[in-house]
């Protein structure tokens, strides 16, 4: 699903970039970049599963590698093929797209091998990569101005969700010595930091409407479909933390799932906001 979200984000980023004018590049470029994003995100997921086999044996034993359905060498080979194809597709667009694809590939590898072990750095990197998908859509059409707002929202939303996922995975992270935020600061401390990111999303989300950038359709959809859902998610975590010393991992898992589907609501809100003008 992460690859699908990345592809949709690229297409939406290209569409939003049109607010600066008509496409100055062929539409095929958008499809190429969307496919590249799908492949690179998928490669990153496979590589992450390859490296996280010991953690997943505790947190998510049903996944293909820890369950034994997929062998580790096969998973690594598949990730490499996806990285090569996804990066190479950038050459069919322009040198900027190819450079961005190379940078994304490098960041995904560094994140999996090193950055996710650095306190908060991994969460921020994933947020930046998510925001970059919208910018990549703008690069595909030669204009990035209209893609900046959704890129900022995507960064804040994803960084907050990544911290919630760390709360969900705290047992496995502790077992292998991974210094995630919940391991270092405790699950409550990590929860409050995630609230900071999510509160920023809620606070700034109405402003594109007030500034006349997006239409009333956006405002209604983002308030009802995104902001209220985020408030509900925060309440789930708060109530769970009140009744248990650590934040219950099942609560964090529920919130992470809700937020994943809420991403599509946010994308729809931005799309409606643009076509409603």
Chain segment 193-217, per-residue pLDDT in tens:
999 999 999 999 999 999 988 889 9
**10/130 Cα distance (integer angstroms):** 10
Ranked by mean pLDDT, which of 4-8, 205-209, 235-239 comes out on top? 205-209
* pLDDT surpassing 50 at residue 20: no
- Distance separating alpha carbons of residues 148 and 133, to the nearest angstrom: 10
Tell me, what's the pLDDT at 230? 95
pLDDT value, residue 187 = 79
Check pLDDT > 60 for residue 244: no
Question: Cα separation of 205 and 223, whole Å?
Answer: 8
Between 56-65, 68-77, 141-150, the lowest mean confidence (pLDDT) is in 56-65
Taking the model in full, what pTM does it have? 0.84
Q: Where are the domains of the chain?
A: 2-199
Query: What are the tens digits of pLDDT across the range 57-68?
Result: 776 777 777 777
At residue 93, φ and ψ (nearest 5 deg) are -105, -70
Q: Please check the confidence at residue 103 and state whether its pLDDT lies above 90.
A: yes
Cβ atoms of residues 90 and 98 within 8 Å? yes
Q: In the CATH scheme, what is the code of domain 2-199?
A: 1.10.357.140
Q: Of 25-29, 201-205, 239-243, which has the strongest mean pLDDT?
A: 201-205
pLDDT tens for each residue of 155-165: 999 999 989 98
């Amino acid at each position: 699903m992460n690859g699908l979200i990345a592809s949709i984000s690229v297409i939406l980023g290209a569409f939003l970039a049109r607010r600066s004018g008509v496409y100055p590049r062929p539409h095929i470029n958008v499809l190429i970049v969307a496919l590249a994003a799908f492949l690179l995100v998928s490669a990153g997921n496979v590589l992450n599963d390859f490296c996280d086999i010991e953690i997943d044996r505790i947190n998510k034993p049903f996944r293909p590698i820890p369950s034994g359905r997929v062998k580790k060498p096969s998973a690594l080979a598949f990730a490499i093929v996806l990285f090569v194809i996804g990066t190479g597709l950038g050459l069919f667009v322009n040198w900027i797209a190819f450079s961005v694809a190379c940078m994304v590939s490098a960041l995904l590898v560094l994140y999996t091998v090193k950055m996710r072990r650095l306190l908060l750095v991994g969460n921020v990197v994933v947020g930046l990569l998510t925001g970059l998908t919208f910018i990549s859509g703008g690069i595909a059409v030669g204009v990035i101005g209209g893609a900046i707002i959704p890129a900022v929202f995507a960064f804040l939303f994803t960084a907050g969700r990544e911290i919630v996922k760390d709360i969900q995975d705290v047992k496995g992270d502790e077992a292998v010595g991974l210094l995630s935020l919940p391991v270092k600061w405790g699950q409550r401390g990590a929860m409050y930091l995630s609230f900071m990111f999510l509160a920023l999303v809620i606070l700034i989300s109405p402003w594109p409407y007030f500034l006349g950038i997006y239409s009333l359709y956006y405002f209604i959809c983002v308030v009802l479909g995104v902001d209220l859902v985020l408030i509900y998610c925060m309440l789930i975590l708060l109530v769970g933390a009140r009744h248990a010393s650590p934040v219950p991992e099942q609560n964090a898992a529920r919130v992470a799932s809700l937020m994943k589907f809420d991403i599509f609501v946010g994308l729809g809100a931005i799309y409606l906001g643009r076509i409603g003008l």
